[in-house]
Chain A
Amino acid sequence: MEIEARANPMDKYLRADRIPHIWCSGCGLGIVLNAFLHAIEELNIDLDKLAVVSGIGCTGRIAGYINTDSYHTTHGRAIPFATGLKLANPEMKVVVISGDGDLFAIGGNHFIHAARRNIDITVIGVNNYNYGMTGGQLGPTTPLGARTTTSPYGNIEHPFNLCHVAHAAGAVYVARWTVLHAIRLKNSIKEALNKRGFSFIEVIAACPTTYGRRNKMPDALDEMRFYREHSVIKHGIDPSQANIEIGKEIVVGKFVDIEKPTFNEAVEELKKKVKKK
């Protein structure tokens, strides 16, 4: 019997010659990538005018698989790189996809300042509660009490609530989803891509290999099951009320959606004002 080889309809968005990817089976990153690709497909975004920028980490590898101009920068520096790219080439749609450690530990300073300036980029922050790439160390979002390779007795640090940070720093669009909410996530990415200014989506993602197995969720499905049983959608809630704690409900939804002039717009206005004749 002959089996007809059919191309996956999403192939055109991928660098097919780079597949298979490096991620573990059960990793949440495939769902994030899939949601992103469907969002750009449904928005019919010109791939030649889309740039994806990543930092370093398992999440940071996303840029390398997408068939657009894609930039895999240094650890923590995706946002300032994206800032320069967007300012120098405003016709590009610029998206940063990176991990919790990359964006909020080593790169935390850049995140808050890009949000404050309202740089016109979308940031998708994949929160898997740990540093996957380097073997499961604790990170700025590791919940209190969670076991990681550098918190072998349980985490004693208070974690960031990323959506609260984004809101406080001035982001115009803030949402949180888990990888269980694949369709809602895709719709949210579409909204964020259409938003003028600094938009941020936190995606809670399973990392069975380095996080789950040390925290009583050794199977990827355990984490998905947990999301199903414990996440509640609360659109419009003050993000400060959406902390993440072990074993407690995960509040998801769109928390912030406001309008504010962007840095690009301010620069263009300034240029008009001072331009030499």
Chain B
Amino acid sequence: MKKEIRFWNGSIAVSEGAIVAGCRFFAGYPITPASDIAEYMALRLPQEDGIFIQMEDEIASIAALLGASWGGAKVMTSTSGPGFSLMQENVGLAAVTETPLVIAEVQRAGPSTGMPTLVGQGDVMQSRWGSHGDYETIVISPSSPQESFDLVIRAFNLAELYRVPVIFLMDECIAHMSERVVIPPKEEIEVVERIKPNVSPEKYMPFQPVNDIAPMATAGMGYRVHVTGLTHNEKGYPMTTSPEVQEWMVRHICDKIRKNEHKIRDIEEYRMEDAEIAIVAFGIVGRSAKAAVKMARRHRIKAGLIRLKTIWPFPESYFESMADSIKKFIVAEINYGQIKLEVERAVHGKASVELLPKFGGAVHQPMEIYQKIKEVKNGN
């Protein structure tokens, strides 16, 4: 097979990528600016022997994903901030029941109903801390339609590999912009399948990790698994008065991600080889930041870009070691300071970290970021 070239927006690219990754079940509820994904999946999934269902709300949508995932399918929904808020209780259920699923979250400007048609990046913390209790998610952020396609395949692979909810954190601009998308030949695309148990039902422990991850027996395989959101032991049985089991379970669902952060990590570095000032950005802002770095370089300022393609688990050790050589970080994000707090925490006071916020509704212009670079440089 040859590679193919398409002219797609981010919404189509993420949908087609999901289908390539094996997604055959989509449940969602319309919300701007994420509805295009649901509409496109409604068109495409029946052609691929898949199922699309528009549910009565976002709580139902994610509950249906959980059910379908336990039914054996690879599953996705799409939403934006308000809908994502509604989903949070069941994000927690997915985390403790170790249910693979993907949420394409197209960020708009919040809080609350906010600015439905305009861009925002204010859901960074929600995608990590939105549900109650201790748990981990994986969060991926694309900067183009091409990455919407490529990285959503990775999102499915990671969801299946680590049995974890993965949030595909897009933004309005990326979802709606159209660009050239190259589809590699099928045989070059890596698709990860869920690990199934290979022991008899009598010996099977549904939540006992084997190399960090427990093989997953879905409905109808004959393993007769009990799945509960209550604190449970390796057998899946509720243990609601045992602090020991609680510790074991919480450590497991967190550590399987924390321990593998370096494998999950995906960062683009641009002009970082000799950089003295680093811009940190993700999503649409990664693009204006790159233009700003080019401007700075034309003026002989040694600036570089660190673009986060995975946001959570946060690459703490990466930033800590970067801070040995980089003494100035500028975090440009369309919110009032979210990733900035993480960078600050990770550099342990070894470098200064400045926020360049946008409050939603607009993207940083390259010139604004360049001005900030100059300011930080001159502030020597």
In the complex the two chains form, what is the Cα distance from A49 to B221 in whole Å?
Answer: 8
Interface of B is mostly: mixed
Stretch at the interface among B45-53, B175-183, B293-301, B372-380: B45-53
Interface of A is mostly: helix
Residues A84 and B229 in contact, CB atoms below 8 Å apart: no
B329 within 8 A of A: no
A43 to chain B, nearest CB (A): 17
In the complex the two chains form, what is the Cα distance from A15 to B230 in whole Å?
Answer: 17
The proximity string for B residues 26-64 relative to A, scoring 1 for CB distances below 8 Å and 0 otherwise, is 010000000000000000001111010101110111011
Residues A74 and B93 in contact, CB atoms below 8 Å apart: yes
Residues A109 and B57 in contact, CB atoms below 8 Å apart: yes
Residues B228 and A74 in contact, CB atoms below 8 Å apart: no
The proximity string for A residues 190-223 relative to B, scoring 1 for CB distances below 8 Å and 0 otherwise, is 0000000000000000000000000000000000
Query: Known contacts being A77-B63, A85-B71, is A69 close to B230, with CB within 8 Å?
Result: no
Residue of B nearest to A117 (CB): B53
Residues B51 and A267 in contact, CB atoms below 8 Å apart: yes
Residues A80 and B67 in contact, CB atoms below 8 Å apart: yes
Residues A64 and B226 in contact, CB atoms below 8 Å apart: yes
Contacts of A275 in B (CB 8 A): 46-47, 49
Contacts of A73 in B (CB 8 A): 63, 66, 93, 229
The proximity string for A residues 75-86 relative to B, scoring 1 for CB distances below 8 Å and 0 otherwise, is 011001111111
Query: Known contacts being A49-B220, A274-B47, is A69 close to B63, with CB within 8 Å?
Result: no
Which of chain B's residues 213-237 have a Cβ closer than 8 Å to chain A?
A: 218-230, 237
Residues B56 and A113 in contact, CB atoms below 8 Å apart: yes
Residues B220 and A84 in contact, CB atoms below 8 Å apart: no
Residues A271 and B49 in contact, CB atoms below 8 Å apart: yes
The residue from A17, A72, A88, A267 contacting B228, defined by CB atoms under 8 A apart: A72
Residue of A nearest to B67 (CB): A84
The proximity string for A residues 256-277 relative to B, scoring 1 for CB distances below 8 Å and 0 otherwise, is 0000000100010011011110
Residues A77 and B71 in contact, CB atoms below 8 Å apart: no
The residue from A17, A51, A74 contacting B63, defined by CB atoms under 8 A apart: A74
B352 within 8 A of A: no
We find that the number of chain A residues with CB closer than 8 angstroms to chain B is 43
B238 within 8 A of A: yes
The proximity string for B residues 178-221 relative to A, scoring 1 for CB distances below 8 Å and 0 otherwise, is 00000000000000000000000000000000000000001111
Query: Known contacts being A74-B89, A92-B219, is A48 close to B60, with CB within 8 Å?
Result: no
A63 within 8 A of B: yes
Query: Known contacts being A74-B93, A84-B71, A89-B71, is A110 close to B60, with CB within 8 Å?
Result: yes
Residues B238 and A84 in contact, CB atoms below 8 Å apart: no
The residue from A63, A77, A271 contacting B90, defined by CB atoms under 8 A apart: A77
Residue of B nearest to A49 (CB): B220
Residue of A nearest to B55 (CB): A80
Contacts of A113 in B (CB 8 A): 55-56, 60
Residues B51 and A274 in contact, CB atoms below 8 Å apart: no
The residue from B48, B71, B90, B225 contacting A88, defined by CB atoms under 8 A apart: B71
Query: Known contacts being A74-B93, A80-B55, A88-B25, is A53 close to B220, with CB within 8 Å?
Result: no
Interface footprint category on B: 35 or more
In the complex the two chains form, what is the Cα distance from A83 to B59 in whole Å?
Answer: 13
In the complex the two chains form, what is the Cα distance from A70 to B220 in whole Å?
Answer: 11
In the complex the two chains form, what is the Cα distance from A267 to B48 in whole Å?
Answer: 12
B65 within 8 A of A: yes
The residue from A15, A72, A77, A89 contacting B220, defined by CB atoms under 8 A apart: A89
Contacts of A187 in B (CB 8 A): none
Residues B67 and A53 in contact, CB atoms below 8 Å apart: yes
Contacts of A6 in B (CB 8 A): none
In the complex the two chains form, what is the Cα distance from A81 to B226 in whole Å?
Answer: 14
Contacts of B68 in A (CB 8 A): 84-85, 87-89
In the complex the two chains form, what is the Cα distance from A64 to B64 in whole Å?
Answer: 20
The proximity string for A residues 215-255 relative to B, scoring 1 for CB distances below 8 Å and 0 otherwise, is 00000000000000000000000000000000000000000
Contacts of A68 in B (CB 8 A): 224
Residues B53 and A110 in contact, CB atoms below 8 Å apart: no
B72 within 8 A of A: yes
Residues B70 and A85 in contact, CB atoms below 8 Å apart: yes
Residues B46 and A18 in contact, CB atoms below 8 Å apart: no
B257 within 8 A of A: no
Contacts of B66 in A (CB 8 A): 73, 81, 84
Contacts of A273 in B (CB 8 A): 46
Extra contacts, 13 of them, besides A18-B237, A64-B238, A89-B218 (Cβ < 8 A), are: A69-B220, A71-B226, A72-B226, A72-B227, A77-B60, A80-B27, A84-B67, A85-B67, A86-B71, A87-B25, A87-B68, A88-B72, A276-B47
Closest 10 CB pairs of A and B: A84-B67, A88-B71, A84-B64, A89-B71, A84-B68, A88-B68, A80-B63, A85-B67, A80-B60, A72-B228
6 contacts between A and B (CB under 8 A): A48-B224, A49-B220, A74-B90, A74-B229, A88-B68, A276-B47
